[in-house]
């Protein structure tokens, strides 16, 4: 009966059915999990006592993916061995095959390699082996397929999820940088992607043309990239065509978005109730572990046997207990803790918010808070551990202390009563000397070297040449030194929460930034005095106009003194205009103002010489005004400005108003029509306003007559 049923399903599905494939990159091509990843591939690192790759594979299986290609690079043998032993290889409707390569140093290389293998012929899911998700893929797949039918350029659908970044640290809860995305709200097309915010200020610069091209965009900084992509086969060929693409996001996505020649488009699919996150650094390791324990990843939680994990019972307050645990009566297990099979816990030990792997031996009077302890770790009496990661086989001798953020790699021994300083990373392997600061550095490069060093270490053990200074008496391991920059930023990506002092410091920085930057609209309210004056919009406008005029004047004067080319002056004025968001007329009047100011400032003895000065300036720089005097309105604006100058700032011009006006007319800067319109406008004004009109009455009359004659 069962067989028959299966057959029927196949028949229904077979007609349009193309098996859904997935590429799983079992290598992150980064060094963020060093030193652990020197000895074990990242995807095999346990998260809540199950290797990360199991979460990914379990999800792929539940999402009805039928064929998975696991791409292994560094430590490929370990991964292949693990998969051979795991249950994933013998599944009826789920095949896992490995692709091995040793000379890939980036995701781009990996995809190029897979393209050469020619195994992908339809849509596929691109995922890295450190992703934890429980999302239902069908909807996203459907959307992707429908878009593909309409538009063959829609090559990729990226899964995103809402997640608010912290206002203070400018990073998400997963420890990644704040991500800016611009998405077309109607089509969900991704238009802009930037995960490097400018010096942590949370500013974003968009091209104006970009805004002009897209009638509606919504810009988000509260979206998290889940690193789950549904791709069309073109993606692989794109990587092959652009051999310089290395990083999936930094190169590929950005390259596609910037390059509009090919017209390829990327779309987004937002998930709401589902969970998806990638373990990118130690901070996300911590966050995702807690999410798993809090069951956001259901059904991929410890008490459901989705892989080969041991049967585990969930008790009240989120305590997970595997079988065969020896626990002293006086030991206190706090909430949100996982305790693996065959572990023993001594008396008066307090454990909270931690994960303890299989076969661990924990002595008495130990304090463990927020730690991730992997398998077969021995912790002797009286140790104190806070927010640390302890890999397999670590031994903590009695009385030793781990300060927050410590990472102890495989088989490290911490000596008696030794205090490991915060954020230090300890490994049996010495730190590679030539450490490239580039993140893209592939640890597989050093593979051969590592094996070599391990050998020497094994030999060295008998000699017990471990320096007591590194990790205490009887300890084994090197404390990796960190460069100054790394050390500064260490708190960002650590398993330990950000220390209070750091937060205060950062908050202060945010406040400082706010005070500097008036337009920064960060929601934190600041008791600022400087801003208070600029509350209303009108004031703001006037202010900016004044500042603008000053800027123009300075630019102009500098140009005069440094004899800058006219074109360049126009360019500078234009850029000023854009940055202050003002009209052409404003530029014209401001420029004119600065020219007159120049004429005025040049030494003169009589009104006549003032006119001459003005004449000189105008004949030299008059053409600068041309680009801004496109319309009659602009010219009127100039006259009004001049009038204002005469009555306010530069009264000396008042006497020679007509001469100058005439001069401007002669030089074709101001046309007859503008002057006439100006006069007409002034007709109804107050007497006091008419002073200059009256002055130039004769000139206007002459103009009128001249025009009549022409008719």
Partner 1 sequence: MPDTHALVTDFLNKLKKRKIEGSKATAKLTAELLRSVISQQRLPNTNQAGALIHAIKAIGDQLTAANPVEVAVGNIVRRVLHIIREEDVSLTTASIGGLSLQGLSDDDEDDDNPLVSAAAAAAAARTTLRPPSLQTLLEDIPPHSAAAAAAALHHSSSSAGDSEDKTKSTDKNSRSRKLKHNVIEAVNELIQDIATCHELIAEQAVEHIHHNEVILTLGSSGTVIEFLCAAKEKKRSFRVFVAEGAPRYQGHTLAKELVARGLQTTVITDSAVFAMISRVNMVIVGAHAVMANGGVIAPVGLNMVALAAQRHAVPFVVLAGIHKLCPLYPHNPEVLLNELKSPSELLDFGEMSDCMDFGSGTGSPLLHVVNPAFDYVPPKLVSLFITDTGGHNPSYMYRLIADYYSADDLVLQQRPTS
The token duo for 95 is: 């095949």
- Identify which of residues 121 and 294 has a Cβ nearer to partner 1 in the complex: 294
List 122, 335, 528, 533, residue binding partner 1 (CB under 8 A): 335
Stretch that binds partner 1, among 106-114, 116-124, 140-148, 165-173 (CB under 8 A): 165-173
Q: Report the DSSP beta bridge partners of residue 224.
A: 161
Rounded to 5 degrees, φ, ψ at 613 are -55, -50
168 near partner 1 (CB under 8 A): yes
**Binding segment toward partner 1, per CB under 8 A, in 45-53, 169-177, 410-418, 572-580:** 169-177
Specify which residues 327 forms β-bridges with.
345
CA–CA distances in Å: residue 288 to residues 32, 473, 516, 555, 697 = 16, 35, 37, 55, 82
Specify whether the CB–CB gap between 373 and 387 falls below 8 A: no
Binding flag, residue 691, partner 1 (CB under 8 A): no
- DSSP H or E stretch at residue 577: helix 566-580
Out of 108, 370, 415, 475, the only residue in the binding site for partner 1 (CB under 8 A) is 370
Least separation in angstroms between CB 508 and partner 1:
15
Q: Tell me which stretch binds partner 1 (CB under 8 A): 490-498, 573-581, 674-682, 698-706.
A: 490-498
Cβ nearer to partner 1, comparing 275 with 466 = 275
Give yes or no for residue 646 binding partner 1 (CB under 8 A).
no
Binding mask 540-579 for partner 1 (x = CB under 8 A): ----------------------------------------
Closest CA to 379 of 392, 369, 394: 394
Please, is 705 exposed, middle or buried when counting C-beta atoms within 10 Å of its C-beta (0-12, 13-18, 19+)? Answer: exposed
State how far the alpha carbon of 188 is from the alpha carbons of 144, 270, 369, 646, in Å.
Answer: 11, 9, 43, 57
Does position 272 bind partner 1 by CB under 8 A? yes
Q: Which of 198, 298, 430, 542 binds partner 1 (CB under 8 A)?
A: 298
Distance, C-alpha 212 to centroid of its chain: 24
The reply to whether 178 sits near partner 1 by the rule CB under 8 A is: no
- Does 314 interact with partner 1 (rule: CB under 8 A)? yes
16 binds partner 1 (CB under 8 A): no
Helices (H) and strands (E) in the chain, counts: 23, 35
Q: Based on the shown chain and the rule CB under 8 A, indicate whether residue 461 belongs to the binding site for partner 1.
A: no
Per CB under 8 A, the list member of 316, 463, 561, 563 interacting with partner 1 is 316
Closest CA to 232 of 149, 139, 113: 149
Of 355, 425, 367, 373, nearest to 399 (Cα)? 367
Is 353 a binding residue for partner 1 by CB under 8 A? The answer is yes
Q: How far is the CB of 349 from partner 1 (least distance, A)?
A: 17
Which range binds partner 1 by CB under 8 A, 300-308, 341-349, 359-367, 593-601? 300-308
Q: How many CB atoms lie within 10 A of CB 362?
A: 27
Helix, coil or strand: residue 52: helix
Name 564's Cβ contacts closer than 8 Å, sequence gap at least 6: 558
Shortest separation between residue 505's beta carbon and partner 1, angstroms: 13
Is position 134 an interface residue for partner 1 (rule: CB under 8 A)? yes
Identified binder of partner 1 from the candidate list 69, 306, 466, 657, rule CB under 8 A: 306
Under the criterion CB under 8 A, does residue 173 sit at the interface with partner 1? yes
**Least CB distance to partner 1 at residue 492 (A):** 8
By beta-carbon proximity to partner 1, the closer residue of 88 and 642 is 88
Q: Give least dist CB 369 to partner 1, A.
A: 8
- 369 forms bridges with which residues in the sheet? 352, 386
- Residues 6 or more apart from 690 whose CB is under 8 A from it? 682
**Comparing C-alpha atoms, which of 381, 306, 341, 351 is closest to residue 87?**
306
- What distance in Å separates the CA atoms of residue 288 and residue 549, rounded to the nearest whole number? 55
Nearer to partner 1, 262 or 522 (CB): 522
How many amino acids of this chain bind partner 1 (CB under 8 A)?
Answer: 54
Binder to partner 1 among 281, 297, 427, 589 (CB under 8 A)? 297
Q: Which CB sits closer to partner 1, 97 or 166?
A: 166
Asked if 177 is part of the footprint of partner 1 (rule: CB under 8 A), the reply reads: no
Which residue pairs, CB below 8 angstroms and at least 24 apart, start in 60-65?
60/22, 60/24, 60/94, 60/125, 60/127, 61/88, 61/91, 61/94, 62/134, 62/299, 63/125, 63/135, 63/136, 63/137, 63/138, 64/20, 64/137, 64/138, 65/20, 65/21, 65/22, 65/94, 65/125, 65/137
Minimum distance from CB of 340 to partner 1 (Å)?
Answer: 18
Q: Which of 103, 166, 508, 704 binds partner 1 (CB under 8 A)?
A: 166
Judged by CB under 8 A, the residue of 145, 290, 623, 667 near partner 1 is: 290
Interface segment toward partner 1; rule CB under 8 A; list 256-264, 269-277, 467-475, 539-547: 269-277
Nearer to partner 1, 323 or 609 (CB): 323
Q: Tell the smallest beta-carbon distance from residue 578 to partner 1 (Å).
A: 36
The DSSP call for residue 34 is T
Q: How far is the CB of 303 from partner 1 (least distance, A)?
A: 8
Q: Which residues have C-beta within 8 Å of that of residue 359, sequence separation ≥ 6?
A: 340, 341, 342, 343, 375, 376
Check residue 164 for interaction with partner 1 (CB under 8 A): yes
With b for 16 or more beta-carbon neighbours within 10 A and e for fewer, the 508-519 pattern comes to: eebeebbeeeee
Identity of the residue, 336 or 699, whose beta carbon is nearer to partner 1 in the bound complex: 336
Q: How far is CA 60 from the centre of its chain?
A: 27
Measured CA to CA, the distance from residue 217 to residue 67 in angstroms comes to 37
Give the residues across from 343 on adjacent strands: none
- Assign residue 646 a region (left: φ > 0; alpha: ψ between -120 and 50; beta: otherwise): alpha
Of residues 220 through 249, those in contact with partner 1 by CB under 8 A are 222
**CA dist., res. 54 & res. 87, Å (int):** 10
Q: Supply the DSSP symbol for 249.
A: I
Which of 38, 58, 179, 625 lies at the binding interface for partner 1 (CB under 8 A)?
A: 58
Q: Which is nearer to partner 1, 335 or 430 (CB)?
A: 335
What distance in Å separates the CA atoms of residue 284 and residue 269, rounded to the nearest whole number?
A: 22
C-alpha dihedral (53, 57, 60, 64), degrees to nearest 10: 180
Candidate list 103, 142, 162, 330; residue touching partner 1; CB under 8 A: 162
With respect to partner 1, which residue has the nearer C-beta, 294 or 630? Answer: 294
d(C-alpha 11, C-alpha 5), whole Å: 10
Residue 301: CB minimum distance to partner 1, A: 8
Residue 287 CB, shortest distance to partner 1, in Å, is 5
* In the complex, minimum distance from the CB of residue 273 to partner 1, in angstroms, rounded to a whole number: 4
Residue 311 as a binder of partner 1 (CB under 8 A): the answer is yes
**For partner 1, the closer CB: 88 or 113:** 88
Binding map of partner 1 across residues 376-395, x = CB under 8 A, - = no contact: -----------x--------
Q: Which residues bind partner 1 (CB under 8 A)?
A: 1-3, 58, 62, 91-92, 134, 161-164, 166, 168-169, 171, 173, 175, 222, 272-275, 283, 286-287, 290-291, 294-299, 304-306, 311, 313-316, 318, 335-336, 352-353, 369-370, 387, 496-498, 503
């Amino acid at each position: 009966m069962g067989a028959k049923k299966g057959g029927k399903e196949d028949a229904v599905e077979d007609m349009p059915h193309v098996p859904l494939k997935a590429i799983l990159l079992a290598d992150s091509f980064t060094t963020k999990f060093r030193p652990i990843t020197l000895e074990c591939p990242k995807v095999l690192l346990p998260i809540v006592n199950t290797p990360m790759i199991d979460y990914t594979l379990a999800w792929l299986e539940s999402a009805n993916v039928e064929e998975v290609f696991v791409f292994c690079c560094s430590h490929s043998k370990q991964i292949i061995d693990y998969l051979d032993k795991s249950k994933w290889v013998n599944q009826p409707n789920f095949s896992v095959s490995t692709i091995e390569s040793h000379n890939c140093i980036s995701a781009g290389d990996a995809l190029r390699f897979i393209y050469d293998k020619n195994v992908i012929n339809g849509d596929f899911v691109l995922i890295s082996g450190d992703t934890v998700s429980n999302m239902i893929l069908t909807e996203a797949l459907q959307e992707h397929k429908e878009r593909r039918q309409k538009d063959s350029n829609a090559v990729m659908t990226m899964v995103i999820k809402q997640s608010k970044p912290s206002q203070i640290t400018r990073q998400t809860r997963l420890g990644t940088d704040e991500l800016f995305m611009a998405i077309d709200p109607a089509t969900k097309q991704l238009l802009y992607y930037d995960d490097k915010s400018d010096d942590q200020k949370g500013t974003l610069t968009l091209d104006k043309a970009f805004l002009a091209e897209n009638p509606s965009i919504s810009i988000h900084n509260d979206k998290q990239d889940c690193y789950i992509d549904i791709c069309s086969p073109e993606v692989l060929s794109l990587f092959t065509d652009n051999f310089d693409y290395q990083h999936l996001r930094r190169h590929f996505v950005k390259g596609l978005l910037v390059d509009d020649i090919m017209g390829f488009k990327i779309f987004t699919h937002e998930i709401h109730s589902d969970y998806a996150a990638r373990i990118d650094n130690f901070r996300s390791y911590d966050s995702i572990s807690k999410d798993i324990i809090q069951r956001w990843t259901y059904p991929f939680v410890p008490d459901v046997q989705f892989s080969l994990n041991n049967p585990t019972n969930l008790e009240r307050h989120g305590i997970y207990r595997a079988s065969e645990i020896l626990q002293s009566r006086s030991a206190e297990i706090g909430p949100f803790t996982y305790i693996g099979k065959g572990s023993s816990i001594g008396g008066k030990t307090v454990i909270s918010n931690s994960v303890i792997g299989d076969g661990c031996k924990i002595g008495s009077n130990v304090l463990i808070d927020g730690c991730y302890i992997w398998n077969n770790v021995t912790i002797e009496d009286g140790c104190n551990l806070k927010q640390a990661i302890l890999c397999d086989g670590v031994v903590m001798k009695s009385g030793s202390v781990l300060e927050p953020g410590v990472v102890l790699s495989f088989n490290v021994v911490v000596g008696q009563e030794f205090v490991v300083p915060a954020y230090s990373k300890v490994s049996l392997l010495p730190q590679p000397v030539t450490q490239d600061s580039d993140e893209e550095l592939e640890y597989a490069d050093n593979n051969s070297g590592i094996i070599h060093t391990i050998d020497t270490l094994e030999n060295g053990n008998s000699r017990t040449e471990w320096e007591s200074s590194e990790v205490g008496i009887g300890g084994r391991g090197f404390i990796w030194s960190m460069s100054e920059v790394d050390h500064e930023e260490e708190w960002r990506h650590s398993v330990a929460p950000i220390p209070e002092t750091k937060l205060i410091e950062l908050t202060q920085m945010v406040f400082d930034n706010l005070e500097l930057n008036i337009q920064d609209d960060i929601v934190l309210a600041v008791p600022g005095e400087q801003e208070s004056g600029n509350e209303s919009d009108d004031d703001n406008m006037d202010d900016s106009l004044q500042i603008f005029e000053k800027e123009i004047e300075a630019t102009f004067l500098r140009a005069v003194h440094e004899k800058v080319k006219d074109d360049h002056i126009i360019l500078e004025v234009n850029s000023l205009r854009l940055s202050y968001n003002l009209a052409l007329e404003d530029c014209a009047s401001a420029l004119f103002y600065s020219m007159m100011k120049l004429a005025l400032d040049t030494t003169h003895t009589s009104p006549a010489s003032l006119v001459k000065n003005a004449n000189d300036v105008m004949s030299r720089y008059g053409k600068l005004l041309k680009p801004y005097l496109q319309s009659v309105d602009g010219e009127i604006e100039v006259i009004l400005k001049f009038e204002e100058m005469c009555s306010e700032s530069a009264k000396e011009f008042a006497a020679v108003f007509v001469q100058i006006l005439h001069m401007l007319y002669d030089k074709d800067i101001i046309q007859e029509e503008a002057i006439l319109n100006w006069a007409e406008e002034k007709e109804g004004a107050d007497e006091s306003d008419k002073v200059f009109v009256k002055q130039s009455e004769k000139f206007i009359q002459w103009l009128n007559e001249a025009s009549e004659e022409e008719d």
